[in-house]
Structure 1
Amino acid sequence: MPPRGRLAALLLVLLMASMPWAPATPAALPFSESFSTVGVTSTIVIGAADGGQDDRVEVDVDDGRSIARVDLTLESAALGRSTGADLSGASDFDAPGAVYEGMDVNGSTLSILPDGAFWDFEDPNHGWTLGGSNVWKRGFDSTLGSTGGVSSGSNALYTYDGNYPNGMSTTYWATSPDLACNGCSGTWELSFMRRLGVEYNYYDHAYVQVKNAQGNWAQIWQNPAATMNEGTFTSQTLDISNYVAGNPAFAVRFGLGTSDGSATYTGWNIDDVRIEPNGGATGTGEGSWTSAPFGPEVDGAPHARLTLDASVPGDAVLEATILDALTGTPVPGFTDLDAMTMDLGAIDAADHPLLRIHLEFEEGTAGSPSVGSIAYGGRMLYDLEIVPLASWTDASGSDPASAGAFNAGSGVFTGVSTYTSPLTTHR
């Protein structure tokens, strides 16, 4: 990526009389003043950063004096120091001065607190992974019928049509999607409707497991030392509090197998699965977050471009408003923006020396919005979901997967290669 640049405007002023000029400086910069001589051309360098005009130079004209001519020349110049910064991770999202409600600020992304999960399996796109070949299915066991094989609605998850076979040599699982619960705390429960038929656990096996915060599966229930052959659905509730808290990828799975060579039964029939808090911290599908103050008085640099590295699925909503940090009021023209980049250089730093960014989150049917980082002062910070790896190329124009250097399934690179990002535009 080419080095960041700025524009230097050379203001040539032919002075007809004595005329002072002084750079009006932010608190972080020293104040200086100089005077011109009558009739002498003066050159004033006015710096500008990415996204906006520098307003740190003022020209005063005494009463009775005039400026004969003003010449403006634009030239590129190296940025003397980095003014870029970013907010990312729990230390920034929960930094002193940040204000939030209904948000998970403890993970690598800024997101809405989860409000639990529910599956009634009426939607064919339920997201569960059904293991085995014709082992786990969605619908109802044809031998139990639509009344006996479903607790509510028209569909459930079940194993086999009829009884499971003898001699099952492994366990087959039905696994839920992951639930991001970085900010979860308190008491959480797994509840579901169950109709289960299985020989006692010396011979045949049925399990319920959950994925803990370390990514390992932990068993929270197994069939007892007595044969089960339930004739109706019954409500089941299991405490999962120790596994949900601070878990970035909580999941649940139901397993059937192994089995011996004698008696068999209907196996699992599961409906209306819920993961929900009972007195814990949970979300409502909405949230808001306001950053700590930033700007010239903090960073010693003028306002410039701000970029959000964010994911906004489907009909979810993520809106940004720029606030004056001193008054708490929105800066005109920067209210309820849905853009992922905004030019704060248009904001007068003299009028608004400190800013905050206020974000409103609202989940949609396809999921919740999340923010990985907020970069400002000209910095660009993206993850590979925003600038996908497939758009990076080697010298031959091939992306890593096409070149055989990257396995998308395992996420592993092999060999040594150089890949270049797509072209980005800076001004």
Structure 2
Amino acid sequence: LISELKKIHEIEQATPDYLAFHTAVPNDPMYPSQWGHNNTSQMLSWSSNTYEHTGAAVGTYGFDTNAEIGWYGTQPYGDSNVIIAIIDSGVDADHPDLNQVTGYDFGDADNDPDDDSAEPGHGTACSGVAAAIANNNLGVAGIAGGCSIMPLKVADNDGNMAFSSIDNAIYYAADNGADIISLSLGASVDPSQVPSTETALSYALSAGVTIFAATANANNYTIDYPSNSQYVISVGAASPCDGRKRSSSNSGEVNPGNSTDPNGVTCDNEIWWGSNYGVNTQDARDAVDIIAPTILPTTDIGGSGGYNTNAGSAGDYSMWFNGTSCATPYAAGVAALIKSKYPTWTPAQIRAQIVNTAIDIVNVESSVGWDKYSGYGLVDVGAAIGPEGYPLCTITNPSPSEVIERGTIETITVSASDPGGSLNNVKIYIDDILQITLLSSPYEYSWETEFESLTNHTIKATATDNDLNETDDVIVVRIANPQENLFTDDFETNKGWTLSGEFERGAPGGLGGDHGNPDPGSAYAGSNVLGVDLTGLDNYSGDYETSLADRAYKAESPAIDCSDYNNITLSFFRWLNVEQPAYDHAYIDINNGTGWQQIWTNTAGIEDAAWSQQNFDISTYANEQAMVQIRFCMGGSDTSWQYSGWNIDDLIVSGESTIIPGYGGSSNQGDPTQPVIVDIDPIDIGGIPIDPDVSIDPEGSVGLTVDVTVSEDVQSGAPVPNPEAVQISYNISIIGNITGLTVDFDLCFDGLTGLSSILWYNGSTWLVPDNIQWENPAGHVTFSITFPSSRGSRDGSTEIILGDDNPLPVTLSSLQASFINDHAVLQWITQSETQNAGWNVYRAESSNSEQRLKI
């Protein structure tokens, strides 16, 4: 239409009448700390030194709910007519950052649901997570900061919450206009034990109320009630890392009654708790449905009355509200946003929208698709309510935090669409450098990782529609060398373990089992295992003895060299029987030369009747350590009830090399004390071999100095950006401990009047060298090339592009033209500019046209 209008002589100009949308970034002062809305790796981890969140900033960039995308629209933060009932300890009645409707106090049977029991603050915090008023330049922004809170207090004066009060609150919410119920509370009971609450939940669901409940915080494999009810959506907690919040693997660090986690604490480092998970049956009543962010800033009782004891307005907010208690109102707020956009939707439709648009979690414990730890994944506001007028854009491969093996070709895949059907292009960036612009599906890019550094890399996809609206999706992945086995033992031969007590290496014979299960009848593979009393020693044949001292039986591995390796893991197959830790103990310890440290112990009785693989991340202790030992221990034990103890098979310690292939040295750090041999073939210029001068700096990094004099303009046939080029061919072989090789070129071109630019070709891409210095005379130039640290032997070429006496004041790096919404859009990037006052842009009907019009 625009192009047709422009053809009409009477019309001077025609442009689209663009629509304006509400801002997606609220102005609340504490918003930058709310990682769940927008994760920029900003959350401070908990520190065991200060017992506060004063540790390093952590989190996976882009692992969040895409709130800023979802908030675009005519009601960006939700409809005030949509009501979230917070059934809890009450809500601070006059908090300035909460929009509240009439509620009730069922704990004390009065009309005042103020958060004033002996255990105050919890309900107020839940309310802020769900619906603290957004974009009011005050405090925090709830995920549904335009919706309203119904405060329903179920705590009595002592802070106790009876299920009879909870039942009454559920009925009240259903009968008084609540759309969503959030229950950050629970008990370890089965639904059959609380039939009255089941009836109330069923009533509310039938009345059109969508109900959310917390799984609990014990890192256990069962979820609390009412989260395990068929009438609610079960919510687990997500850390800012990459999935479910996990506890420590050390029993001495978790809260009493909480389970340790074999994969260790998540990056937040709140070691004492983890999100409960349920059965491994999708959509079962006692399975996790969804996870949502935890450890967030939120509203608190005004002044010093809540978690934050600072006086005055400084105490109106708390920074680190955690647990599934935080995740549940967040998920409830997402449901409120969906209800705001689709007011006629039923609870079943809202649930389907949440689970079908969730961000799938793939990490050390969660696999592709639904899984028992993270359910359907992290709630995704952007996908659940969708931006109005903005394209949708999601990176579907690789996954956030995925580890990609260096040297492979990774296919980056983007799912992109536009509600108006006007998607124009998708751009893919790696580390903020544009790689490709795609005009049609499939939106894919093949990323060659051979020359990438062994570190984190940011992938960004940007979808642009014909109105120039853009939506980004950003993930962070890690390039790593493949896992290598540093130590393996199938226990068929003696590899140097030191055994004490009743530890033996040999064939298991099914002995023991006075309590629990006996030893296995055979090894997991082969014939032998490492185990306790395989042959019927001492008083209890096949079982460990009574009254053992702490770690009385020990099996210590030989020293394992983990130098030049990180991300180290321990795996083995286990058959273990041990009484609960109130009586008996089994341990795994590690020593990196600073003394033995416990990495695992039984937190409950274990009665294995089959082999199972166990995996431990031991990076904290073993990364780049020259001497690492693993130790399995048995004891102490009490005076009765013997068990068969440890059986271990097929043990592997593996890690990722920090050495670039072809290079030596610890952690890629140069070692000037080691001999370095550098051999460079004669440089060939125009078919004439010239022996360069070679110098090595023994005090630091390795360098080469090449002096070449060329007496004439030599033409090269290489496929370079400019046909006038001198080609330097080289072959460099490197032996020794070096981080990479920098070659310094010092070139003199006698008889030439000037050089315009220099590019070098790394085998796939033209690059600008480092440290370019143009000197007098004009034909003299020095520059440096640092080879990609991927091989020890390198073939390549450097192109010297010749020019005239007056090089252009601008070096252009890239130029891109796109046709968007009937407009030609030009984008360019300059490598350098010298005294450049601006730009004149001209257009022509064709490349051969002699008439060019200035735009």
Higher relative contact order (CA 8 A, sep 6+): 1
Structure with more strand by fraction: 1
TM-score, L = length of structure 1:
0.40
TM-score, L = length of structure 2:
0.21
Structure with more helix by fraction: 2
